[in-house]
Structure 1
Amino acid sequence: MGKVFRGEIRNIADLDRQMEEVLKKVPLYYDDNKLWYRWNFEDFKWELVDETDILISIDEETDIANISQRMINSQIITALKMASRKKRPRDLRNTQVQIKSKIVDVASGEEMDASPDYFCFNPIEWEVGESEETPTIDSLMVEWVGKENTKKMYQWIAYQMLPEYIIHRVFILIGNGSNGKSTFIDLLRRFIGDNNYSAGDYETVFGRRFGTSILYKKLSVLMPESDFGKISNTATFKSATGGDAIPVEFKNKGVFNYKNYAKVTISANSLPPTLDKTDSFYRRVNIVDFPNQFKEKYDVLGSIPDYEFNNLACKCLRLLKELIKEGIFDKEKDIDKKREKYEKLSNPLSVFIEDELDENSDHYISKREFNTKANRWLRDHSHRSLTNKEITKFMKEMYQEGWGSFVCDKGEKRSERVWMGVKWKGEEVKISEERID
Structure 2
Amino acid sequence: MILKKREQMNFIVQNVIKRRGKKKMVWIPEKREVFTEEAPEEKPKKKRKLKQIFSRRGQIESFWKEQPFFYDKSKLFWLWDKEDKKWVRSDEVDFLNSIQESLGIETINSKTKSELISGFQQIGRKKCPKEMEKHWVQFKDMIYDIRTGGSFEATPEYFITNPIPYNVGKSDETPEIDKLLIEWVGEKYKQTLYEIMAYNISLNKFMQRIIALCGGGSNGKGTFIKLNYKFLGKDNCVSSEIKTLSENVFEAAVLYRKLLCVMGEVSYGDLKNTNQLKKLGGEDLISFQFKGKTPFTDENTATCICATNSLPSTPDKSVGFYRKWLIVDFPNQFEEISKDLIEKIPEKEFENLAKKCLNILKELYKTKKFTNEGNFEERIKRYEERSNPVMKFVDDYCEEKIGFNTPIRNFTNECNKYLKSKHLRVLTANQIGKILRNEGFMVGNRKIDDISSVVVLNLIIKTKKNYRNYRNYENSHSSSICNSIENNDSSNSSNSNIEEEEVNFHEIQRKGRY
Shared fold (TM-score greater than 0.5)? yes
d(CA) in 2 for partners of 1:107, 1:119: 19
**Deviation (angstroms), 1:176:** 0.7
d(CA) in 2 for partners of 1:306, 1:248: 36
Paired residues of 2:168 and 2:354 also in contact (CA < 8 A)? yes
**Deviation (angstroms), 1:349:** 1.2
SS of 1:301's partner is coil
- CA RMSD, aligned part only? 2.3
Normalising by structure 1, report the TM-score.
0.91
Paired residues of 1:404 and 1:418 also in contact (CA < 8 A)? no
Q: State yes or no: 1:99 paired with 2:139.
A: yes
Aligned to 2:204: 164
SS of 2:163's partner is coil
- Post-superposition Cα deviations, 1:176-218, rounded to whole Å, max 9, x if no partner, equal 1110000000001110001001101111223213101100111
Residue of 212, 223, 226 corresponding to 1:186: 226
Corresponding letter in the other structure for 2:448: S
Residue of 147, 151, 155 corresponding to 2:187: 147
**Which structure's relative contact order is higher, taking Cα pairs within 8 Å and 6+ residues apart?**
1
Aligned to 1:405: 448
d(CA) in 2 for partners of 1:297, 1:305: 20
Q: How does 1:153-302 map to 2 (within 5 A)?
A: 153-227=193-267, 229-299=269-339, 300-302=341-343
Q: State yes or no: 1:128 paired with 2:168.
A: yes
Residue of 60, 73, 82 corresponding to 1:19: 60
Aligned to 1:64: 105
Deviates more, 1:154-163 or 1:9-18: 9-18
**Deviation (angstroms), 1:324:** 1.5
Deviates more, 1:77-86 or 1:416-425: 416-425
**Deviation (angstroms), 1:421:** 2.0
Paired residues of 2:405 and 2:513 also in contact (CA < 8 A)? no
d(CA) in 2 for partners of 1:146, 1:419: 40
d(CA) in 2 for partners of 1:357, 1:258: 48
Q: Once the two structures are aligned, what percentage of the paired residues are identical?
A: 35
d(CA) in 1 for partners of 2:512, 2:215: 42
Aligned to 2:368: 327
Unaligned stretches of 5+ residues in structure 1: 1-8, 407-412
Unaligned stretches of 5+ residues in structure 2: 1-49, 474-508
Whose radius of gyration is greater, 1 or 2? 2
d(CA) in 1 for partners of 2:111, 2:329: 61
d(CA) in 2 for partners of 1:64, 1:405: 86
**Deviation (angstroms), 1:393:** 1.9
Aligned to 2:413: 372
d(CA) in 1 for partners of 2:161, 2:510: 73
Paired residues of 1:169 and 1:286 also in contact (CA < 8 A)? yes
**Deviation (angstroms), 1:107:** 1.5
d(CA) in 2 for partners of 1:282, 1:378: 23
Deviates more, 1:397-406 or 1:184-193: 397-406
d(CA) in 1 for partners of 2:103, 2:54: 17
Aligned to 1:79: 119
d(CA) in 1 for partners of 2:377, 2:453: 41
SS of 2:446's partner is strand
Paired residues of 1:227 and 1:269 also in contact (CA < 8 A)? no
- Post-superposition Cα deviations, 1:48-67, rounded to whole Å, max 9, x if no partner, equal 111111111111111335x4
How many corresponding residue pairs? 422
Structure with the larger strand share? 1
**Structure-2 change in CA distance of 1:71 and 1:228 (3 Å):** farther
**Structure-2 change in CA distance of 1:436 and 1:428 (3 Å):** closer
Paired residues of 2:162 and 2:258 also in contact (CA < 8 A)? yes
**Deviation (angstroms), 1:162:** 1.0
d(CA) in 1 for partners of 2:135, 2:154: 15
d(CA) in 1 for partners of 2:403, 2:169: 70
d(CA) in 2 for partners of 1:434, 1:309: 63
Corresponding letter in the other structure for 1:322: E
Q: State yes or no: 1:48 paired with 2:89.
A: yes
